[in-house]
Amino acid sequence: MGFRLENGGRLIDRDEALGFRFNGQELRGHPGDTLASALMANGRRLVGRSFKYHRPRGILASGAEEPNALVGLGSGARFEPNQRATTTELFDGLEAKSQNHWPSLERDVGALNAAVAGVAPVFSAGFYYKTFLAPRVAWKHLFEPIIRQAAGLGQAPTEPDPDTYEHFHTHTDVLVIGGGPAGLMAARRAAEAGAQVLLIEQTPHFGGRALVEDETKIDGMSAPDWAARETAALAAMPSVTMRARTMGAGLYDHGYAMLYERVADHRPDAPDAPRHRLWRVRAGQVIVATGAIERPLTCANNDLPGVMLASAVRDYLRLYGVCPGERFVIVANNDDAYRTAIALQAAGAVVRAVLDVRSAATGALADQVRALQIPVLEGHGVAKIRGGKDVEAVETVRLAANGTRAGGGEALYVDSVALSGGWSPVVHLYSHCGGKLLWDDKALMFRPAPERGAPIGPDGGVNTRCCGASNGAMATGACLADAARAGAEAVAAMGLTAPDAALPAVDEPAEQPIEPHWFTPSRDKYAHGTKHFVDFQNDVTAADVRLAAREGYESVEHTKRYTTLGMATDQGKTSNINGLALLAEALDKPIPEVGTTTFRPPYTPISMGAIAGSAKGPLFKAIRQTPMHAWHAEHGADFEPVGDWFRPYCYLRPGEDRYAAVTREVLNARQRVGVLDASTLGKIVVQGPDAPKFLDLIYTNTMSSLKVGRCRYGLMCTENGFLFDDGVVVRTGPDSYLCHTTSGGADRVAAHLEEWLQTEWWDFAVHTANVTDQWVQIAVAGPEARALLTAASTDIDLSAAALPFMSYVEGHIAGAPVRLFRISFSGELAFEIATPASHGPALWQALLSAGQPMGVMPYGTEALHVMRAEKGFIMIGDETDGTVTPQDLGLHWAVSKKKTDFIGKRAQERIDLTRPDRKQLVGLFTTEPRQVLPDGAHAVVETRERGKPMTTIGHVTSTYFSPTLNRSIAMALIEGGAGRMGEELKFPLEDGSIMRATVVDPVFYDKEGARNV
Amino acid sequence: MSEAVSALGGRVAEPRPGLAIRDMGLRGQITLKADLTEPAVATAVETVAHVPLPSKLSAAFAEDGRGAVWMAADEMLIFVPKAEVSAALEALEAALADLHHMALDVSDARAVLRLSGRPVAEVLAKGAPVDLRASAFPVGRARRTHLAGLAVGLWRRGEDDWDIVCFRSYAHHLFDWLVRVGGEGAAVDHPPMGSEA
């Protein structure tokens, strides 16, 4: 139906042809085309099927607001659904396919929905809520699968995205969003005042609507010439950066903006270029010049292919040299649409009539149209558009003054309809950052109302201004004046002065005011509005909105969710105001009382890739590695995440599974000697005259009494008395301590210490430093540990007398400078060696070599866990969950009763924390020794049949098969556990079976500590 | 003596012509926490770092690589040759004996990367929120900020020469990230960041 004109098309290069495919069909277009303009040039207007009713749909708009023309782009891993044809730049080899139809775009079974809907509404407002109430089970197995198959837009891609994306942070004095006439003017005023300006435009071209309005004269030249001159002038200014294909996606507090740049969508062969770039801009001042969006009129069958927005018709004619049809009717409630009539006639198309719903069309533009011999039918609208997959005719209706039907009209045989229901300022971004709006009942629009609340910057001054059409200044002259004002105000807020410059003279016709017209009456089955589409993308009709009003929905926010109005991927850009007005009409309330929905970023959908940026694949998240990481990887390490670290869970040997490896590692450490990379252990230096006093308050036990050169196990609690970290504290000097923390807790503990120092005890002379990365730490555990260190050559006296348990000394091992701690987390004779990280790999190697005759093996975190559990040592995060006190874990001995205060002391005296029936740590032996309890299994008072609720008394916190004891062991938190020794507990499992276990002392192995000498 | 190795073993990369990324290897680093307004601190720092105490948000370096970087209102990061760390610590202890302070050897806790070339600021801007415009980040400026999701220290040694420190355990991630986003096809070509700055 559409065709390429002989001449015209400001943006296309007719000398070059590009090939592309739509649904497999080979088509041709030109550089500069959008997919939509190229499809229309090839006579394709039917481009998709609608969401619910599978109605045939064409191209409605020419830009970001397009609700219908969504296609799947690309193929394979680069396939991407729901892309707007109107914003997709054509490139050679582009592949697109239509969506939401079966078996084909032209013949679609789902359209039956629509046929039935003509008789009885199917999928009307609240359809899901009302229809499938019962039985509940049918939802999962019957209703939902069927609905899911029938509804929905494009399909998700199935392969990983091979493209790259990135973020980019930048700062600028002034950010101008939108490169239309207002944006160009505001940017120039700001730049001439000396500000650094970033000017962005979502399309590939600067100029906005000025590129289309040839008849408007600015500064004595046509609007497109003026736009070209201004664009060139700005490009030549060194303080101005212009960025096309870059959309303002979100505007946040204090001038923080998120921009979405489509770097390589239009040149997919660009080597290494990221596909999209997400800009994160901090701007001193923000100028929003985002223009306005035209609204369709709500009449019967207004969604047929061939029905378009009046301004979009003009865009296709002038930007792309494409005429969307041959014979047109234009329907409007305002003067702007008359420009489309003039443009169409100039392009050689037939304009059968302009239907103006206003009772009289008296403006200069209407007179111009009449002078072109185009009939103007005042007080007329469209009762119904006839057609199937294309417009065939328009039935007119004569309207009474109150908008009701006053008489039957005639049939106008045309193939295209251009609708204009007025323009809505794009206030989205202004609203994102808190700018308030008001309803202008003369101009019929929500426009910014800074007097009700404007976004402010960090200094409390206004930092964001709308201008031009986005501020409701629709006429070109008013738009430019408003933009000049915004530019001058923005720089004035920065203390700069815009040089005096005269506003350009604008020659444009005066316009007759718009009049409200929210629903065009129809007869018979069309009277109720079931074919009067409001939200094209979600298939919401006027009847749906009215039904919601009748059913008691008064708030637009509720109606939106009930009807899904404005909830599609276009977020109601063309439908929100129309839907709102219909709701207000149905409720008999003024529009401002019904309210407007909230605008949320992003302005149009942006790719997930852009949001992820470079955080993808190996760079998805920073993984901390110890200096021995490479050695571990080369020696079979099966890694597991611990905090941000990756640690070997175990070292797999050929033929081993995890269980076999862990068993071997445990037995080897118990019988000979093992080494563990414990470098991830948090290490925090606390130093200063008040360090002893400070640590007495931080830890539950006393650190001031610790002697220099000695170690003490310490517990840290929150203010609420709950245990949150533990570790060995070493006194390295009279005023200095080294506090070990859990691997995952180092940063948290460091922040905890600083917070208390900075907010509560700011008068303490204490410094802290997190030196976790400075030190490699290696645990050497097992009966041969002392022999191994001796073999590795050391200047340290390792005897129990010289280096007793819980002491530390400095010296050298295998040539490396070390701090040697005589501590044990396995219950074996054990040492922990700390050496500066750069010496770590060499020391690790030296220990393994020296230990070879003794049968040394490295062991991983699981062997560590098993061995500590065999000894009944708790693990933060296993035995603790933020609700567990030291007393619950039987750690009374590590909680000082003498100290007057420590963090958590007061809380631990509360009644609830001293109840004798709190959950307390116990050991468990399963009745069947080979059975291992599942982690987290619940103990119950009485078992009942599966699915019935049971009263639980606690749960398993750690559970292993102990290679040392050759039986399963577990730890659990059980109500009143300390008093349940010997009791048999029942654990109902997910498979319906019941496991039984007896409460025992949680120290399973070497209770007397005979091994650790 | 055992062999000491840096986190990245002296790795170098040139993700695009004119952009060099280099692991600076093992460098003597001392973190000094003290009241920086005390005259004794300024004297002590100058004695070991051979540069005047840097002011807030600044870094200063001598020709031989010694220097100091302002890290916080009560924290300085001092650079000395690796072999001289012990001597420098002793000198600091002696000079600050009467003042509450803490001086620690953190040479192994942090990796130091050097970035050179025109595109450096632009590459950094892909991961750091800090204002890198020459007006806000002149030569000699030092900031602690985020880069590629990591906590880093960053200072501008020359027009196109920057140093970054990060915790050693993250160094491989930072290096890999810089190589990945520094590729030529990913040039932003945004004048306020690039050569015109």
Spatial CA neighbour of A692 closest among A653, A658, A735: A735
- The residues, ordered by sequence, that sit 6+ positions from A682 with a Cβ below 8 Å of its Cβ are A727, A739, A740, A741, A742, A743, A745, A746, A747, A749, A750, A770, A772
Q: Which residue of B has its CA nearest to A839?
A: B4
Does an H or E element contain A913, and which? Answer: helix A911-914
- Distance between CA atoms of residues B169 and A776, nearest Å: 11
- State whether B2 and A270 contact (CB < 8 Å): no
CA B6 to chain A, closest CA, distance in angstroms equals 6
| B 100-129 residues inside an 8 A Cβ radius of A | 100-102, 104-110, 125-129
- Give the relative orientation of helices A691-698 and A746-759 as an angle to the nearest 10 degrees: 120
- State whether B108 and A774 contact (CB < 8 Å): yes
DSSP per-residue codes, A271-289: TT--SEEEEEEEEEEEEE-
Nearest Cβ partner for B5 among A167, A172, A841:
A841
Q: Which residue of A has its CA nearest to B29?
A: A774
- State whether B167 and A270 contact (CB < 8 Å): no
- Distance between CA atoms of residues A809 and A833, nearest Å: 10
Amino acid at position B33, single letter: K
Average pLDDT, chain A: 94
pLDDT in tens, A708-755: 999 999 999 999 999 999 999 999 999 999 999 999 999 999 999 999
- Distance between CA atoms of residues A923 and A630, nearest Å: 38
Q: Which residue of A has its CA nearest to B175?
A: A619
Q: Count of A–B CB contacts within 8 Å?
A: 144
3-state secondary structure at position B177: helix
CA angle, corner A515, sides to A513 and A520, nearest 5? 150
Q: Output the pLDDT for position B194.
A: 45
Q: Output the pLDDT for position A186.
A: 98
Q: Output the pLDDT for position A152.
A: 61
Give contacts of A167 with chain B, Cβ < 8 Å: 126-127
Q: Output the pLDDT for position A99.
A: 86
Strands (E), chain B: 12-16, 19-23, 28-33, 59-61, 67-72, 75-80, 102-105, 110-116, 142-147, 150-158, 161-167
Say what the ipTM of the complex is: 0.96
Nearest Cβ partner for A618 among B107, B176, B191:
B176
Q: Decide if A849 touches B, using CB distance below 8 A.
A: no
Give contacts of B104 with chain A, Cβ < 8 Å: 685, 769, 771, 774
- State whether A615 and B149 contact (CB < 8 Å): yes
Q: Decide if B87 touches A, using CB distance below 8 A.
A: no
Q: Decide if B72 touches A, using CB distance below 8 A.
A: no
| A 683-722 residues inside an 8 A Cβ radius of B | 685, 687-689
- State whether A626 and B169 contact (CB < 8 Å): yes
- Distance between CA atoms of residues A314 and A351, nearest Å: 13
Nearest Cβ partner for A688 among B102, B133, B170:
B102
Q: Decide if B26 touches A, using CB distance below 8 A.
A: yes
Q: Output the pLDDT for position A149.
A: 63
- The residues, ordered by sequence, that sit 6+ positions from A371 with a Cβ below 8 Å of its Cβ are none
- State whether A838 and B192 contact (CB < 8 Å): no
Which segments of chain A have a pLDDT < 50? 118-120
Provide the CB-side half-sphere exposure for A29 (13 A, CA): 32
Amino acid at position A967, single letter: R
pLDDT in tens, A68-124: 999 999 999 999 999 999 999 999 999 999 987 766 777 776 665 555 554 445 567
Which segments of chain B have a pLDDT < 70? 1-2, 192-197
Q: Output the pLDDT for position B186.
A: 76
Radius of gyration (C-alpha) of chain B in whole angstroms: 17
Q: Output the pLDDT for position B197.
A: 36
Nearest Cβ partner for A614 among B31, B181, B191:
B181
- The residues, ordered by sequence, that sit 6+ positions from A81 with a Cβ below 8 Å of its Cβ are A70, A72, A99, A153, A154, A155, A156, A157
Cα A131 from chain centre: 33
Tokens for A256, please give them: 């923080």
| B 43-62 residues inside an 8 A Cβ radius of A | none
Contact A833, A820 (CB under 8 A): yes
- Distance between CA atoms of residues B170 and B168, nearest Å: 5
| A 498-517 residues inside an 8 A Cβ radius of B | none
pLDDT in tens, A616-663: 999 999 999 999 999 999 999 999 999 999 999 999 999 999 999 999
CA A41 to chain B, closest CA, distance in angstroms equals 34
- Distance between CA atoms of residues A441 and A391, nearest Å: 33
Amino acid at position A534, single letter: V
- State whether A619 and B148 contact (CB < 8 Å): yes
- State whether A167 and B176 contact (CB < 8 Å): no
DSSP per-residue codes, B91-128: HHHHHTTTS--EEEE-TTTEEEEEEESTTHHHHHHTT-
Q: Output the pLDDT for position B196.
A: 41
End-to-end CA distance of chain A: 93
Give contacts of A275 with chain B, Cβ < 8 Å: none
Tokens for A612, please give them: 């992820």
3-state secondary structure at position B58: strand
| A 263-282 residues inside an 8 A Cβ radius of B | 270-274, 277, 280, 282
- Distance between CA atoms of residues A375 and A361, nearest Å: 12
Q: Output the pLDDT for position A945.
A: 87
Q: Decide if A130 touches B, using CB distance below 8 A.
A: no
Q: Decide if A50 touches B, using CB distance below 8 A.
A: no
Tell me the whole-structure pTM to 2 decimals. Answer: 0.93
Do β-strands A376-378 and A350-356 pair in parallel, antiparallel, or remain unpaired?
A: parallel
